[in-house]
Structure 1
Amino acid sequence: MTPSARPAAARRPIGVTLIAVLLCAGLTWLGLWQVQRLAWKQDLIASIAARVHAPPVPAPRASDAEYLRVTASGHFRHDATTLVRASTVRGPGYWVMTPLATDRGFTIIVNRGFIPAAGARYARPGGGVRVTGLLRLTEPEGGFLRANDPVAGKWYSRDVAALARARGLEDVTPYFIDAQAGADPLLIGGLTVLAFPNNHLVYALTWFALAAMVAGATAMLWRQEWIARRP
């Protein structure tokens, strides 16, 4: 190697090393972030499991504690029932969403269960009833990549506010209740999906492995440079 070429060759591994250091720092940060996300997801899953299996509490007027087990008494407004398209482990069909006028003066929309077809039969109990199930947050903006069409009576998501407006309901809670299984023998209840993807450990290991690969490649580059400079 000529003397003039040596400085340029020496600068190449230094520049690559600086880039590698930045890459390793970024990849390591991403790995640590996924570790934090893993801890958050584990806490979330444990919290939800505790709510689901806890004794039911009186349904509140407002809450964002999804999957809280609640109970409410009142009478169903069957005249304001809405069928919302559903895709479940039982196949496609509809959720039967019926408002419950509670004894406490407000209304809760209840997902009474699943039916496989719009004309399927199910009970319409009159008088006082008690509903127990899981508190679920509203699902605005439609579903199945399609927006709700209240005018045409086509519903693709359980949008509480939209359902209340379409049925002329007042003083409705911002959530709905997924009724537990067995409330109606002709309705399939208890189909709430409680699966929460938790791939954060895999993502963290991936980012850490990439950081290690970059560091290893940089070390090999410097080793080759060192061998090349030996007399």
Structure 2
Amino acid sequence: MRRYLGPLLFGIVGCAILVALGVWQLQRAEWKAGLLADIQRGIDAPPGPLPAAVDPSLKYHPVTVSGTTTGDELLVLGGTRESGGGYRILSGFVTDEGRRIMLDRGFVPEDARHAPRPPTALRVEGNLHWPDETGSATPAPNRAENIWFARDVPAMAAALGAEPVLVVASRVTGDAQGVSPIPVGIEGIPNNHLGYAVQWFGLAVVWAGMTAALIWRIRQRRF
């Protein structure tokens, strides 16, 4: 019996650790789901005026702004399931209070890239946003073609001569000039903890199987 004790204890402890990690990931999945629900409730809350002081702690904060686009815009390469490839349009926007900010107006298809979009008065409901889209593999903007490959609030604000404040439109009143809003959502925020839990539980099953196989081999040698 002593021959089995070491492998058995090793197997039990290993399985217990792996199962505990799986349970922890299930708890993390529940926590992340609650966090995402809170974010969505914040996104869907009634919009208010643009705060005087804006910083990333106000990410997703719903606002209403009225003003006029400047005619200056940056194109961010992207696409939608419905329309295929195209561009996000980020415009300079001067509010009725005189603040020059940035407005993510939404999407245009490829063939509307060069369509004229002169200054126009708009009333916009949307959300403040600081997209986390840039990384080491993100190409630098093609300034000659005015094409960007990710939204980068500080760099785009400098290019448009605006405050580093980005409002992503969800509803536009006025001449949208063929631009379709893409509201902020939680779809791009991952919650992979359930998958991690399945992996840990799967490893626990494998560990238990390996332990059983080892004990069986020890028993076979005995005979």
Shorter-chain TM-score: what band? Answer: 0.7 to 0.9
In the alignment, which of 8, 15, 38 is matched to residue 47 of structure 1? 38
In the alignment, which of 181, 192, 201 is matched to residue 189 of structure 1? 181
Q: Which residue type is aligned with residue 177 of structure 1?
A: V
Q: What's 2:114 paired with?
A: 119
Count of residue correspondences: 215
Q: What's 2:68 paired with?
A: 75
User: Of the two, which has the highest radius of gyration?
Assistant: 1
Q: Quick one: structure 1 residues 52 and 98, their matched pair in 2 at CA, closer, same or farther if it must change by over 3 Å?
A: same
Q: Which residue type is aligned with residue 41 of structure 2?
A: A
**Per-residue deviation, 1:20:** 3.4
TM-score by length of 2: 0.76
Q: What's 2:141 paired with?
A: 148
Gaps of 5+ in 1: 1-6
**Per-residue deviation, 1:161:** 1.1
1:35 matched to 2:26? The reply is: yes
RMSD (Å) for aligned C-alpha atoms: 3.3
TM-score by length of 1: 0.74
**Per-residue deviation, 1:66:** 3.2
**How far apart, CA to CA, are the structure 1 residues paired with 2:19 and 2:221?**
31
Provide the identity percentage: 34
Q: Which residue type is aligned with residue 68 of structure 2?
A: H
Is the 1:143–1:156 contact (alpha carbons within 8 Å) kept by the matching residues of 2?
no
Q: Quick one: structure 1 residues 106 and 176, their matched pair in 2 at CA, closer, same or farther if it must change by over 3 Å?
A: same
Is the 2:124–2:172 contact (alpha carbons within 8 Å) kept by the matching residues of 1?
no
In the alignment, which of 79, 82, 98 is matched to residue 87 of structure 1? 79
3-state SS of the aligned residue for 2:119?
coil
Q: Which residue type is aligned with residue 169 of structure 2?
A: A
Q: What's 2:48 paired with?
A: 57
**Per-residue deviation, 1:49:** 1.9
Q: Quick one: structure 1 residues 214 and 204, their matched pair in 2 at CA, closer, same or farther if it must change by over 3 Å?
A: same
Gaps of 5+ in 2: none
Q: Which residue type is aligned with residue 47 of structure 1?
A: D
**Per-residue deviation, 1:139:** 4.3
